[in-house]
């Protein structure tokens, strides 16, 4: 399973890249705003800075909602770097744009997906990635992970190549369950990735090993 980090924070992207397990980055307008990035030039420069750090796909989201401007914006973003994946919302104009980008060989990530029907449309339009938001479904007392299971089944039934990018991942259990189901990618905060490291028996076991080693060495 590929690991993407869901942030626009350069420090956290560097930390995940240094860990050696990072396969890409996803951003969205809220994450850019959280880092205080605004204005077309600053946003573009920030995407360039992210691409310089990471080896892998970097999702950059369009903010237009009409077909002409989604295309215009997406083409500008795609020109920035081969790593850029144009992130397009699951709306009618977005589906049409994904079809166009796909015919031009431009990678896309269909975002704000909350149902299997939306995921089916994204695959038919030729999206490279589909982003079901599992955490936000959990937030409204709907099982986000069962949506990943449904999409996996549907895509496997027909051999769709669109990759399932489990998004809005909040914690280690989401990551593990997504891996069991067979999501192609997960994107989440650095904290969720780092939680995978943790087990109390690892900590107590290591402390014991080091203590025994020191005792044997007469320290
Ligand atoms: O980037 C899209 C998605 O991962 C958002 O996650 O935590 O804001 O629901 P979250």
Residue nearest to atom 10 of ligand 1 (CA): 168
Give mean pLDDT, residues 181-190: 98
Which is the catalytic residue, given 14, 34, 83, 87? 87
pLDDT on residue 218? 87
Query: How far is the C-alpha of 219 from the C-alpha of 217, rounded, in Å?
Result: 6
Tokens, residue 140 = 């409204």
pLDDT band at 89 (very low <50, low <70, confident <90, very high): very high
> Does 39 score more than 90 pLDDT?
yes
Give mean pLDDT, residues 97-121: 98
Output the CA 100–ligand 1 centroid distance in Å: 25
Q: Is 41 a catalytic residue?
A: no
The predicted-structure confidence for 51-66, as pLDDT tens digits, reads as follows: 999 999 999 999 999 9
Atom of ligand 1 nearest to the CA of 111: 2
The predicted-structure confidence for 170-183, as pLDDT tens digits, reads as follows: 999 999 999 999 99
The predicted-structure confidence for 67-87, as pLDDT tens digits, reads as follows: 999 999 999 999 999 999 999
Q: How far is CA 92 from CA 109, 120, 210, 218, in A?
A: 15, 13, 60, 72
pTM assigned to the model: 0.96
pLDDT on residue 219? 73
Atom of ligand 1 nearest to the CA of 26: 1
Residue 74: which residues within 8 A CB-CB, separation 6 or more?
62, 86, 88, 97, 101, 106, 108
pLDDT on residue 152? 98
């Amino acid at each position: 399973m590929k690991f993407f980090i869901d942030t626009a924070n350069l420090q956290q992207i560097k930390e995940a890249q240094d860990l050696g397990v990072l396969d890409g980055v996803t951003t969205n307008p809220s994450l850019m705003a959280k880092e205080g990035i605004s204005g077309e030039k600053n946003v573009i420069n920030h995407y360039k800075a992210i691409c310089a750090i990471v080896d892998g796909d970097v999702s950059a989201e369009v903010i237009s909602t009409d077909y002409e401007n989604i295309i215009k914006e997406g083409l500008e973003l795609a020109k920035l770097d081969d790593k850029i994946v144009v992130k397009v919302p699951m709306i009618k104009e977005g589906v049409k744009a994904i079809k166009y980008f796909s015919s031009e060989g431009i990678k896309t990530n269909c975002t704000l997906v909350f149902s299997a029907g939306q995921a089916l449309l994204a695959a038919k339009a030729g999206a490279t990635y589909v982003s079901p938001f599992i955490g936000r479904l959990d937030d409204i007392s709907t099982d986000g992970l069962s949506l990943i299971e449904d999409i996996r089944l549907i895509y496997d039934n027909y051999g769709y190549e669109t990759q399932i990018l489990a998004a809005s991942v909040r914690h280690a259990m989401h990551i593990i369950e997504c891996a069991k189901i067979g999501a192609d990618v997960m994107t989440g905060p650095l904290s969720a990735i780092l939680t995978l490291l943790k087990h109390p028996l690892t900590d107590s076991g290591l402390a014991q090993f080091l203590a025994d080693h020191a005792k044997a060495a007469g320290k």
